[in-house]
Amino acid sequence: CRMVLATCLGSFILVIFYFQSMLHPVMRRNPFGVDICCRKGSRSPLQELYNPIQLELSNTAVLHQMRRDQVTDTCRANSATSRKRRVLTPNDLKHLVVDEDHELIYCYVPKVACTNWKRLMMVLTGRGKYSDPMEIPANEAHVSANLKTLNQYSIPEINHRLKSYMKFLFVREPFERLVSAYRNKFTQKYNISFHKRYGTKIIKRQRKNATQEALRKGDDVKFEEFVAYLIDPHTQREEPFNEHWQTVYSLCHPCHIHYDLVGKYETLEEDSNYVLQLAGVGSYLKFPTYAKSTRTTDEMTTEFFQNISSEHQTQLYEVYKLDFLMFNYSVPSYLKLE
């Protein structure tokens, strides 16, 4: 009985915060009032963002205000057409990485430079243990014990950080991100765990007359089969999407949590360094840059969608529609929507 009460109470407190955050007007000044908890002897990132020392807003500040407005407007429009109001639980916050020292919360989205941002968060939270993010091996950046996430805090601690810390995320054109996830998880021979966990299931469900080897290995999933799996109503009834192809809307809950900055993959360096500047570390820490020849591009995404029927394209767009609208991505020109 006590456990049930605690669970209900936790949900109640989180939903109260939801209404508080949505009632705050999205402003160019600080929407949280003057009670922001500051690091001793310096300004917090929220102060730097909403109450800049210079009164004249920079072009960057205006751009991010427009992105915040876009998210808010989409959430309001969506809530008006939806009868269901979802309550967040601590388990919904496992993608939100917390940096206590710099008062930052970062919601990581797989396939949107999250490895490098996790590396940066390890430098920021490591208290001198790390200095160069690119010296941190990629697999180490994904070890959950190396970063603290918001779901590890108590309900009052969660609400305090959601109100007082600067919250940011990075997004990417939804179908480009989807193709990137497919290429990485289903066309690379080393991703055996994904082949076994998802590939075998997709082939069994979507491929007629599949060979025993294909059913056993699951290492040759076609993109058309992957799309058919995503739009199959049975898939989401069975279990939530894997984080690599889950929507940003479902991973980071931008209609429940007011994000102060929305960075984009298309302007990754500029947006990342702006976050670091606001955190007061921009003079000595920069976002890692390197040329990656295997990166999924818009042209590549166009090619992958050529063999997808217009019916399946339309159904897939409906799955990711909120991400397109919320983050101001237009309907791709290569789509043949019904």
Percent of the chain surpassing pLDDT 90 = 75
- Token pair recorded at residue 37: 């908890």
Residue 236: per-residue pLDDT: 84
Burial class (CB in 10 A: 0-12, 13-18, 19+), 126: middle
Q: Residue 313's CB: how many other CB atoms inside 10 A?
A: 20
Side-chain half-sphere exposure of 111, counting CA atoms within 13 A: 26
User: What is the full DSSP assignment across 249-273?
Assistant: HHHH-TTTS--SEEEEGGGHHHHHH
User: What is the full DSSP assignment across 166-206?
Assistant: EEEEEE--HHHHHHHHHHHHHS-TT-HHHIIIIIHHHHHHH
Measure CA 190 to chain center. 25
Model confidence band, residue 42 (pLDDT cutoffs 50, 70, 90): confident
The C-alpha atoms of residue 121 and residue 124 are separated, in whole angstroms, by 5
Residue 274: per-residue pLDDT: 96
The pLDDT tens digits of the residues spanning 249-264 come to 999 999 999 999 999 9
Mean pLDDT score, 171-200:
96
Residue 10: per-residue pLDDT: 44
Residue 254: per-residue pLDDT: 96
Mean pLDDT score, 261-278:
96
Residue 210: per-residue pLDDT: 95
The pLDDT tens digits of the residues spanning 112-156 come to 999 999 999 999 999 889 999 999 999 999 999 999 999 999 999
Domain residue ranges of the chain, discontinuous segments joined by +: 45-327
- Token pair recorded at residue 144: 């959950």
**Would the pLDDT of 91 be above 80?**
yes
Residue 136: per-residue pLDDT: 95
Residue 53: per-residue pLDDT: 78
Beta bridge partners, 105, equal 98, 167
The C-alpha atoms of residue 157 and residue 105 are separated, in whole angstroms, by 13
97: enclosing H helix or E strand = strand 96-99
Beta bridge partners, 149, equal 97
